[in-house]
Amino acid sequence: MLDFKTEFVIVIVLCFISSLLLTPLAKKFAVAVGATDAPNSRKIHNKIMPRLGGLAIFISFSIGIIIMQPAGDDTWPIMIGALIIVLTGALDDRFQLSPSKKLFGQLIAAFIVIKWGGVQVEYINLPFGGIIEFGYFSFPLTLIWIIGITNAINLIDGLDGLAAGVSTIAIFTISGMAIIMGDSYVAIFGFILVASILGFLFYNFHPAKIFMGDTGALFLGFMISVLALLGFKNITVISFVIPILILGVPISDTFFAIVRRLLNKQPISAPDKSHLHHCLLNSGFTHRETVIIIYGIATWFSLSAFIFSQSTLWGGILVIAVVLLSLEIIVESIGLLGENYRPILNLVREKK
Predicted local distance difference test score (pLDDT) of residue 268: 74
Range scoring the smallest mean pLDDT among 6-10, 296-300, 332-336: 332-336
Contact 329, 341 (CB under 8 A): no
**Residue at 28: amino acid letter:** K
Average pLDDT over residues 282-306: 94
Residue 131 CA to residue 3 CA, distance in Å, equals 40
Q: How confident is the model at residue 238 (pLDDT cuts 50, 70, 90)?
A: low
How far is C-alpha 159 from the chain's CA centre? Answer: 14
Residue 65 CA to residue 53 CA, distance in Å, equals 19
pLDDT value at 43 more than 90: no
Range scoring the smallest mean pLDDT among 30-39, 212-221, 342-351: 342-351
> DSSP state, 236?
B
How far apart, in Å, are the Cα atoms of 219 and each of 59, 149, 245, 268?
A: 11, 11, 20, 23
Closest by CA position to 30, among listed 11, 4, 56: 56
Predicted local distance difference test score (pLDDT) of residue 167: 96
**Summary mean pLDDT of the chain:** 88
Predicted local distance difference test score (pLDDT) of residue 158: 83
How many CB atoms sit inside 10 A of residue 40's CB? 7
pLDDT value at 1 more than 80: no
Exposure of 303 in the CB half-sphere (CA atoms within 13 A): 8
Helix (H, G, I), strand (E, B) or coil at 327: helix
pLDDT value at 234 more than 60: no
Q: How confident is the model at residue 243 (pLDDT cuts 50, 70, 90)?
A: confident
How many CB atoms sit inside 10 A of residue 299's CB? 17
Spell out the alpha helix ranges (H) of 135-233.
138-155, 162-180, 184-204, 213-232
Contact 90, 216 (CB under 8 A): no
pLDDT value at 22 more than 80: yes
Residue 257 CA to residue 114 CA, distance in Å, equals 28
Closest by CA position to 47, among listed 158, 217, 210, 288: 210
37 DSSP β-pair partners: 49
**Residue at 231: amino acid letter:** G
Q: What is the DSSP string of 277-340?
A: HHHHHHTT--HHHHHHHHHHHHHHHHHHHHHHHTS-HHHHHHHHHHHHHHHHHHHHHHTTT-TT
**Helix pair 162-180, 287-309: axis angle to 10 deg:** 20
Residue 242 CA to residue 192 CA, distance in Å, equals 22
| Residues 6 or more apart in contact with residue 333 via CB below 8 angstroms | 345
Which domain does 171 fall in, by range? 4-351
Domains contained in the chain, number = 1
Burial (CB < 10 A; 0-12, 13-18, 19+), residue 225, is: buried
How many CB atoms sit inside 10 A of residue 34's CB? 11
Closest by CA position to 272, among listed 188, 180, 174, 155: 155
How far is C-alpha 219 from the chain's CA centre? Answer: 9
